[in-house]
Structure 1
Amino acid sequence: MVNTAAFKERLEQILSHYEMTASAFADAIGVQRSSISHLLSGRNKPSLDFVLKVVREFPEVNLYWLLNGKGIFPESEIPPSEDEYNALPEMRKGGPAPTTSEIESIVVFYKDGRFRKYLPSQSKEGGFL
Protein backbone atom coordinates (compact mmCIF):
# COMPACT_ATOMS: atom_id res chain seq x y z
CA MET A 1 0.00 0.00 0.00
CA VAL A 2 1.31 3.43 -0.93
CA ASN A 3 1.73 5.91 1.91
CA THR A 4 -0.19 8.94 0.57
CA ALA A 5 1.73 11.55 2.59
CA ALA A 6 5.12 10.13 1.58
CA PHE A 7 4.02 9.82 -2.07
CA LYS A 8 2.97 13.48 -1.98
CA GLU A 9 6.46 14.45 -0.78
CA ARG A 10 8.12 12.44 -3.55
CA LEU A 11 5.80 14.02 -6.13
CA GLU A 12 6.76 17.46 -4.81
CA GLN A 13 10.45 16.48 -5.15
CA ILE A 14 9.86 15.59 -8.79
CA LEU A 15 8.11 18.90 -9.47
CA SER A 16 10.94 20.80 -7.79
CA HIS A 17 13.67 18.84 -9.60
CA TYR A 18 12.17 19.53 -13.03
CA GLU A 19 11.14 23.06 -12.00
CA MET A 20 7.57 22.40 -13.13
CA THR A 21 4.24 23.59 -11.88
CA ALA A 22 1.61 21.00 -11.09
CA SER A 23 -0.28 22.07 -14.22
CA ALA A 24 2.75 21.70 -16.48
CA PHE A 25 3.53 18.31 -14.94
CA ALA A 26 -0.05 17.13 -15.53
CA ASP A 27 0.17 18.23 -19.16
CA ALA A 28 3.55 16.50 -19.58
CA ILE A 29 2.29 13.11 -18.41
CA GLY A 30 -1.15 13.45 -20.00
CA VAL A 31 -3.45 13.57 -16.97
CA GLN A 32 -6.02 16.09 -15.85
CA ARG A 33 -4.66 18.93 -13.78
CA SER A 34 -7.14 18.12 -11.03
CA SER A 35 -5.49 14.70 -10.66
CA ILE A 36 -2.25 16.34 -9.55
CA SER A 37 -4.12 18.72 -7.29
CA HIS A 38 -5.93 15.86 -5.57
CA LEU A 39 -2.68 13.92 -5.09
CA LEU A 40 -0.84 16.93 -3.68
CA SER A 41 -3.68 17.69 -1.28
CA GLY A 42 -3.73 14.08 -0.08
CA ARG A 43 -7.32 13.63 -1.20
CA ASN A 44 -6.54 10.79 -3.62
CA LYS A 45 -4.03 7.97 -3.81
CA PRO A 46 -2.08 7.52 -7.05
CA SER A 47 -3.42 5.05 -9.59
CA LEU A 48 -1.17 2.53 -11.29
CA ASP A 49 -1.85 4.34 -14.58
CA PHE A 50 -0.64 7.62 -13.07
CA VAL A 51 2.55 6.06 -11.69
CA LEU A 52 3.36 4.38 -15.01
CA LYS A 53 2.84 7.65 -16.89
CA VAL A 54 5.28 9.39 -14.56
CA VAL A 55 8.06 6.80 -14.95
CA ARG A 56 7.47 6.58 -18.71
CA GLU A 57 7.72 10.35 -19.22
CA PHE A 58 10.54 10.97 -16.73
CA PRO A 59 13.17 8.21 -16.98
CA GLU A 60 15.13 9.53 -14.00
CA VAL A 61 12.19 8.63 -11.72
CA ASN A 62 12.71 5.13 -10.37
CA LEU A 63 9.48 3.16 -10.02
CA TYR A 64 10.40 1.73 -6.62
CA TRP A 65 11.48 5.12 -5.31
CA LEU A 66 8.24 6.70 -6.45
CA LEU A 67 6.09 3.99 -4.87
CA ASN A 68 7.88 3.35 -1.58
CA GLY A 69 10.80 5.76 -1.27
CA LYS A 70 13.51 3.11 -1.67
CA GLY A 71 16.34 4.07 -3.96
CA ILE A 72 17.59 7.42 -5.21
CA PHE A 73 16.06 10.22 -7.23
CA PRO A 74 17.07 11.26 -9.81
CA GLU A 75 18.24 7.84 -10.91
CA SER A 76 20.69 9.11 -13.54
CA GLU A 77 22.75 10.83 -10.86
CA ILE A 78 23.58 7.66 -8.95
CA PRO A 79 27.35 7.59 -8.62
CA PRO A 80 29.03 4.22 -9.07
CA SER A 81 29.99 2.45 -5.89
CA GLU A 82 33.70 2.06 -5.17
CA ASP A 83 33.44 -1.66 -5.97
CA GLU A 84 31.79 -0.95 -9.33
CA TYR A 85 34.35 1.73 -10.10
CA ASN A 86 37.28 -0.55 -9.32
CA ALA A 87 35.80 -3.64 -10.98
CA LEU A 88 37.04 -2.99 -14.52
CA PRO A 89 40.02 -0.63 -14.42
CA GLU A 90 41.12 -1.63 -17.96
CA MET A 91 37.82 -0.47 -19.42
CA ARG A 92 37.90 2.75 -17.41
CA LYS A 93 41.36 3.50 -18.82
CA GLY A 94 40.28 2.69 -22.37
CA GLY A 95 42.05 -0.65 -22.35
CA PRO A 96 40.73 -3.91 -23.73
CA ALA A 97 37.46 -5.28 -22.48
CA PRO A 98 37.60 -8.51 -20.52
CA THR A 99 37.20 -11.57 -22.69
CA THR A 100 34.95 -14.49 -21.99
CA SER A 101 34.74 -17.74 -23.82
CA GLU A 102 30.96 -17.84 -24.09
CA ILE A 103 27.98 -15.62 -23.36
CA GLU A 104 25.39 -17.37 -21.23
CA SER A 105 22.55 -14.87 -21.67
CA ILE A 106 21.70 -11.22 -22.10
CA VAL A 107 19.10 -9.61 -19.84
CA VAL A 108 17.37 -6.33 -20.67
CA PHE A 109 15.68 -4.50 -17.78
CA TYR A 110 12.85 -2.05 -18.47
CA LYS A 111 12.00 0.97 -16.32
CA ASP A 112 8.56 -0.45 -15.51
CA GLY A 113 10.10 -3.42 -13.70
CA ARG A 114 9.80 -5.94 -16.54
CA PHE A 115 12.79 -7.76 -17.98
CA ARG A 116 13.56 -10.00 -20.94
CA LYS A 117 16.22 -12.65 -21.05
CA TYR A 118 17.83 -13.56 -24.36
CA LEU A 119 19.53 -16.95 -24.67
CA PRO A 120 22.01 -17.99 -27.36
CA SER A 121 20.29 -19.78 -30.20
CA GLN A 122 21.36 -23.19 -31.32
CA SER A 123 22.25 -21.86 -34.78
CA LYS A 124 25.77 -21.96 -36.16
CA GLU A 125 25.90 -18.16 -36.15
CA GLY A 126 25.55 -18.12 -32.36
CA GLY A 127 22.94 -15.34 -32.43
CA PHE A 128 20.34 -14.71 -29.74
CA LEU A 129 16.66 -15.60 -29.72
Structure 2
Amino acid sequence: MVNTEDFIKRLEKILDYYALNASAFAEKIDVQRSSLSHLLSGRNKPSLDLILKITDEFPEVNLYWLLKGKGQFPGSSDDGVPMAEPKIKAPAPEKITASTQPDLWDAVETTAPILPKTETRPLPLPDSTTEKAIEQIVIFYRDGTFRHYNPNKA
Protein backbone atom coordinates (compact mmCIF):
# COMPACT_ATOMS: atom_id res chain seq x y z
CA MET A 1 0.00 0.00 0.00
CA VAL A 2 1.26 3.47 -0.90
CA ASN A 3 1.49 6.11 1.84
CA THR A 4 -0.35 9.04 0.25
CA GLU A 5 1.49 11.79 2.17
CA ASP A 6 4.89 10.38 1.21
CA PHE A 7 3.75 9.85 -2.37
CA ILE A 8 2.68 13.52 -2.57
CA LYS A 9 6.15 14.59 -1.35
CA ARG A 10 7.81 12.47 -4.04
CA LEU A 11 5.42 13.84 -6.66
CA GLU A 12 6.24 17.40 -5.59
CA LYS A 13 9.95 16.53 -5.88
CA ILE A 14 9.32 15.44 -9.50
CA LEU A 15 7.48 18.71 -10.22
CA ASP A 16 10.37 20.73 -8.77
CA TYR A 17 12.99 18.70 -10.63
CA TYR A 18 11.34 19.27 -14.00
CA ALA A 19 10.32 22.85 -13.12
CA LEU A 20 6.66 22.16 -13.85
CA ASN A 21 3.59 23.48 -12.13
CA ALA A 22 0.71 21.11 -11.41
CA SER A 23 -1.22 22.23 -14.48
CA ALA A 24 1.67 21.66 -16.90
CA PHE A 25 2.47 18.32 -15.24
CA ALA A 26 -1.15 17.17 -15.58
CA GLU A 27 -1.08 18.11 -19.25
CA LYS A 28 2.19 16.23 -19.84
CA ILE A 29 0.90 13.00 -18.30
CA ASP A 30 -2.54 13.46 -19.88
CA VAL A 31 -4.71 13.64 -16.76
CA GLN A 32 -7.27 16.23 -15.75
CA ARG A 33 -5.93 19.12 -13.72
CA SER A 34 -8.59 18.56 -11.07
CA SER A 35 -7.48 14.93 -10.62
CA LEU A 36 -3.91 16.03 -9.95
CA SER A 37 -5.09 18.85 -7.69
CA HIS A 38 -7.17 16.42 -5.61
CA LEU A 39 -4.21 14.09 -5.35
CA LEU A 40 -1.80 16.85 -4.28
CA SER A 41 -4.27 18.10 -1.67
CA GLY A 42 -4.58 14.59 -0.21
CA ARG A 43 -8.25 14.29 -1.16
CA ASN A 44 -7.63 11.36 -3.54
CA LYS A 45 -5.15 8.50 -3.54
CA PRO A 46 -2.92 7.81 -6.57
CA SER A 47 -4.29 5.36 -9.11
CA LEU A 48 -2.23 2.76 -10.93
CA ASP A 49 -3.10 4.52 -14.18
CA LEU A 50 -1.65 7.81 -12.89
CA ILE A 51 1.52 6.11 -11.65
CA LEU A 52 2.05 4.39 -15.00
CA LYS A 53 1.48 7.65 -16.88
CA ILE A 54 4.14 9.33 -14.75
CA THR A 55 6.73 6.60 -15.35
CA ASP A 56 5.87 6.46 -19.07
CA GLU A 57 6.29 10.22 -19.57
CA PHE A 58 9.31 10.51 -17.27
CA PRO A 59 11.42 7.34 -17.68
CA GLU A 60 14.00 8.75 -15.24
CA VAL A 61 11.45 8.28 -12.42
CA ASN A 62 12.06 4.92 -10.80
CA LEU A 63 8.73 3.14 -10.21
CA TYR A 64 9.84 1.65 -6.89
CA TRP A 65 11.07 5.04 -5.69
CA LEU A 66 7.77 6.64 -6.69
CA LEU A 67 5.72 3.99 -4.88
CA LYS A 68 7.83 3.21 -1.83
CA GLY A 69 10.51 5.90 -1.62
CA LYS A 70 13.29 3.32 -1.93
CA GLY A 71 16.20 4.30 -4.11
CA GLN A 72 16.98 7.80 -5.31
CA PHE A 73 15.52 10.38 -7.59
CA PRO A 74 17.26 11.93 -9.39
CA GLY A 75 20.66 10.38 -9.20
CA SER A 76 21.81 6.82 -9.14
CA SER A 77 19.77 3.68 -8.80
CA ASP A 78 20.08 1.28 -5.85
CA ASP A 79 22.71 -0.74 -7.73
CA GLY A 80 24.99 2.31 -8.03
CA VAL A 81 24.49 2.69 -11.78
CA PRO A 82 23.84 6.34 -12.67
CA MET A 83 20.39 7.02 -14.06
CA ALA A 84 19.97 8.78 -17.39
CA GLU A 85 19.83 12.56 -17.50
CA PRO A 86 16.28 13.93 -17.64
CA LYS A 87 14.84 14.04 -21.11
CA ILE A 88 12.73 17.14 -21.07
CA LYS A 89 10.74 17.34 -24.24
CA ALA A 90 10.32 20.64 -26.01
CA PRO A 91 6.72 21.67 -26.46
CA ALA A 92 5.27 20.89 -29.86
CA PRO A 93 5.30 23.92 -32.14
CA GLU A 94 1.97 25.63 -32.58
CA LYS A 95 0.41 24.58 -35.85
CA ILE A 96 -0.97 27.48 -37.82
CA THR A 97 -2.96 27.04 -40.97
CA ALA A 98 -4.47 29.56 -43.33
CA SER A 99 -7.94 28.66 -42.06
CA THR A 100 -7.01 29.61 -38.48
CA GLN A 101 -5.58 33.02 -39.33
CA PRO A 102 -7.29 36.26 -40.34
CA ASP A 103 -6.60 37.60 -43.81
CA LEU A 104 -3.20 39.19 -44.55
CA TRP A 105 -2.00 41.95 -42.23
CA ASP A 106 -5.12 41.85 -40.07
CA ALA A 107 -3.29 39.01 -38.32
CA VAL A 108 -0.62 41.32 -36.89
CA GLU A 109 -0.66 41.26 -33.10
CA THR A 110 -1.64 44.71 -31.88
CA THR A 111 -0.84 44.02 -28.24
CA ALA A 112 2.82 43.27 -28.85
CA PRO A 113 5.14 45.61 -26.94
CA ILE A 114 6.59 48.50 -28.87
CA LEU A 115 10.33 48.11 -29.02
CA PRO A 116 12.88 50.77 -29.88
CA LYS A 117 13.71 51.00 -33.56
CA THR A 118 16.92 49.36 -34.66
CA GLU A 119 18.82 49.85 -37.86
CA THR A 120 17.43 47.66 -40.60
CA ARG A 121 18.67 46.85 -44.03
CA PRO A 122 16.30 46.10 -46.87
CA LEU A 123 16.32 42.51 -48.03
CA PRO A 124 17.50 42.03 -51.58
CA LEU A 125 14.64 41.36 -53.95
CA PRO A 126 14.76 38.10 -55.86
CA ASP A 127 16.22 38.36 -59.33
CA SER A 128 13.39 38.15 -61.88
CA THR A 129 15.40 35.60 -63.86
CA THR A 130 15.39 33.11 -60.99
CA GLU A 131 11.58 32.85 -61.06
CA LYS A 132 11.41 32.58 -57.27
CA ALA A 133 8.12 33.52 -55.69
CA ILE A 134 7.32 34.11 -52.05
CA GLU A 135 5.19 31.31 -50.67
CA GLN A 136 4.71 32.55 -47.12
CA ILE A 137 6.09 34.96 -44.53
CA VAL A 138 6.21 34.21 -40.83
CA ILE A 139 6.67 37.12 -38.42
CA PHE A 140 8.25 36.24 -35.08
CA TYR A 141 7.78 38.59 -32.12
CA ARG A 142 10.16 38.86 -29.20
CA ASP A 143 7.42 37.74 -26.78
CA GLY A 144 7.42 34.31 -28.43
CA THR A 145 4.30 34.79 -30.57
CA PHE A 146 4.25 34.70 -34.32
CA ARG A 147 1.94 35.43 -37.24
CA HIS A 148 1.63 33.86 -40.65
CA TYR A 149 1.21 35.85 -43.88
CA ASN A 150 0.42 34.19 -47.20
CA PRO A 151 0.60 36.65 -50.14
CA ASN A 152 -1.04 34.11 -52.48
CA LYS A 153 -4.31 34.30 -50.54
CA ALA A 154 -4.65 38.06 -50.97
Matches of 1:43 and 1:7 in 2, distance apart?
13
Alignment of 1:10-29 (within 5 A): 10-29=10-29
Aligned to 2:72: 72
- Tell me which residue corresponds to 1:37: 37
Q: Which has the larger radius of gyration?
A: 2
* Amino acid in the other structure paired with 1:71: G
- Which consecutive unaligned segments of at least 5 residues does structure 2 have? 82-154
2:5 maps to: 5
Distance 1:33 1:53 in 2: 14
Q: What is the CA-CA distance between 1:78 and the residue it aligns to?
A: 1.2
What is the TM-score with the length of structure 1 in the denominator? 0.59
Provide Cα deviations, 1:23-62, integer angstroms capped at 9, x if missing partner: 0000000000011101110000000000000000001100
| Higher RCO (CA < 8 A, seq sep 6+) | 1
Distance of 1:2 and 1:45 partners within structure 2 = 9
What's the counterpart of residue 105 of structure 1?
none
**CA drift at 1:3:** 0.4
**What's the CA shift for 1:22?**
0.1
RMSD: 1.6
Q: Distance in 1 between matches of 2:71 and 2:60?
A: 11
- The alpha carbon displacement at 1:67 in A equals 0.5
Q: Measure the CA separation in 2 of the matches of 1:60 and 1:40.
A: 21
1:19 is paired with a residue of what secondary structure?
coil
Matches within 5 A, 1:1-129: 1-74=1-74, 77-78=75-76, 81=80
Q: How far, CA to CA, are the matches of 1:39 and 1:68 in structure 2?
A: 17
